[in-house]
Structure 1
Amino acid sequence: MLANIEVIEALEQAEKLGKMITESEDFKVYKNRKKALYEDRDAVKLMDDFSKMKEHYDDVQRFGRYHPDYSKIMKEIREQKRDLDMHDTVAIYKQSETQLQTLLDDVSEIIAQSISPNIKAPRDGIALKDSGSGCGCGSGGSCGCQAS
C-alpha cells in the first residue's frame, strides 16, 4: 500500500512539473512561434514541397547512386532544405524549439542527478533521434547522403 501512495505522489509531482513547464515563458514563445509558422503561407508551402521531395529522396535512397534521378534529387533536396532552413519564420521557430528542448533537457538532468549521479540524462533531444545512420543507399552511412 505504501508503494502505491508513493507512486501516486510521484505522479502528482510529475503533473505539477509538467504544468510548470507548459506555463513557462519558453513554452509560450514556442507555442506562439509554432502558430506563426503554420500561419505563414510561404513557410507552409516550403514545408509541403520539402515533404514531397523527401518522398522522392527516400525512394532514391533505396537504390543509391544507381537510381536514374540520383544526382537531380540529391541536388534538389539540398536546395529545398536550405531554402526551408533559411526562411525567417522557420528559423525563428527552430530557435524557440531548441530553447524549449534545452529547458526539457535541463529538467531531465536535474531529476536524474537528484536520484543518482550515475544516471545519464539525454541532452539535445538525443532520445528523439534515430540511433541508426539514416542512410538508405547501402554505403553504411559513409556517403553522407542523409538529407534531414
Structure 2
Amino acid sequence: MLATSERVELLEKADVLAKMIMDSEIAEQYQMCLYKLQHNKESQRKINRFVSLKEQYEEVQRFGRYHPDYKRVMGQIREVKREMDLDSHVADFKLAENDLQTLLDEISLLVAGAVSEQIKVPTGNPFFDNHKNHSGGCGSGGSCGCS
C-alpha cells in the first residue's frame, strides 16, 4: 500500500468527518449520558447486580429446567434486569446509544452509496437494511443475493 497524496487526503477528510461526528449534538448527548451512567452509584449498583446474576443465569442455562436453581435464578434475572432497564440513567444512555448508532448507520450508507449502490452495508437495523440494495450483505446474515 503506497502512501499517495490522494490516500493521505482521503484519510484527512475521514478525520474531519470523525471530528464532526464527535462534535455533533448526538455524540455529545451520548458522552453526557455515559458520564452520568458511569458516575451514578445507584445505577452502577444495579448494573453490577445484573452482571453478577447474569453469570448464575448462564450457568443455569447450561442445564435448563433441570438445574436445581432454575426457577429462582430465572425469576431474579427478570426482576433485576427490569430494575436496571427502568433506571433513568440506563434508559437515557440506551436512547443516546441508539441515536448515535443510527447516525453512524446513515453515514455508512451514504459513503457506501456514493461509491456504488452494490456495496453491502451491514447495519443490523431492518430500517436501513430494506433501503435500496443495502440488504445487509453476506456478512450480516442478510440475503445479499450473490451467488
Give the TM-score normalised by structure 1.
0.78
Relative contact order, higher structure (CA 8 A, sep 6+): 1
Q: Structure 2: 5+ residue runs without aligned partners?
A: 127-135, 142-147
Task: Find the counterpart in structure 1 of residue 74 from structure 2.
Answer: 74
Q: Structure 1: 5+ residue runs without aligned partners?
A: 133-148
Would you say how many aligned residue pairs link Structure 1 and Structure 2?
129
Task: Find the counterpart in structure 2 of residue 4 from structure 1.
Answer: 4
Amino acid at match of 1:41: K
Task: Find the counterpart in structure 2 of residue 102 from structure 1.
Answer: 102
| Worse-matched range after superposition: 10-19 or 78-87 | 10-19
SS of 1:120's equivalent? coil
**Deviation digits for residues 47-66 of structure 1, max 9, x if unmatched?**
00000001111111222222
Does the alignment pair 1:19 with 2:19?
yes
**Deviation digits for residues 84-132 of structure 1, max 9, x if unmatched?**
11111111111111111111111111111111111122335699xxx89
* Cα RMSD, aligned residues only: 2.4
1:101/1:124 contact within 8 Å kept: no
Give the TM-score normalised by structure 2.
0.78
After superposition, residues 29-108 of structure 1 pair within 5 angstroms as: 29-108=29-108
